[in-house]
Amino acid sequence: MKDKGTESKLTGTSTGTTGGAPPIGSLAIDASALKGFLVDLPEGETQGMRREQDGIDVVVQEITSNQNEWGGAAGVTADEVSRVVTATERLAQLRAYRPAVAKLLEMIDETEAQLEDTRDTVLRSIAESVDAKAKTAGPGLLAKYEQTRAYRSAVGRKAARTRQKQAADKPADPTKPG
């Protein structure tokens, strides 16, 4: 029997735990526990929002521990304290997902890079094969793989243009004859 929160080695899925953090390295992250408060804001909407500062834990502790005896005298309502406590609990719940989500994103980025590298290596090999076979098959073969050959050479052409531009922008060295 599987423990809650463990990862299946065969499927890469996580059973998760109610409100708990998914295991780092999990391929399936169930964030449905966040459904009641998770938001998707329009682009730029977080600009100008106040963010947490150092010392927030001490401040929350101070507010909650003083509420019963001093809250009324300070004009702090029970609703305000409840909202602070709820937001603090939700932040902790939300942040528990960050390590697993960050690891999954890292794995996606690394896999993407590896797959692009594999594809590019094969494309370069194909272009080289076309170049070699064109000598015997004729120039019509080159036309059939024109885009493949251009793609293969694009990085080299860009590097050559950059070197030429840098050479043109570089002032002449007065110590060299010429």
Q: To which H or E segment does residue 154 belong?
A: helix 146-169
Please state the rounded mean pLDDT for residues 54-60: 97
The model's pLDDT over 28-48, given as tens digits with 9 standing for 90+, comes to: 999 999 999 999 999 999 999
Q: What is the pTM of this model?
A: 0.67
pLDDT per residue as tens digits for the range 95-133: 999 999 999 999 999 999 999 999 999 999 999 999 999
Q: How far apart are CA 8 and CA 178, in angstroms?
A: 71
Question: Is residue 15 over pLDDT 70?
Answer: no
What pLDDT, on the 0 to 100 scale, is given for residue 12?
43
Residue 168: per-residue pLDDT: 84
Task: List the domain boundaries for the chain.
Answer: 110-169
Residue 126 and residue 104: Cα distance in Å, rounded? Answer: 33
The confidence score (pLDDT) of residue 173 equals 67
Distance CA 92, CA 37 (A): 13
What percent of the chain has pLDDT above 90? 67
Tokens 């609990």 correspond to 89
Backbone angles phi, psi at 3, to 5 degrees: -75, 150
DSSP states of 54-114: TTHHHHHHHHHHHIIIIIHHHT--HHHHHHHHHHHHHHHHHHTTHHHHHHHHHHHHHHHHH
| Mean pLDDT for the stretch of residues 159-176 | 77
Model confidence band, residue 163 (pLDDT cutoffs 50, 70, 90):
confident
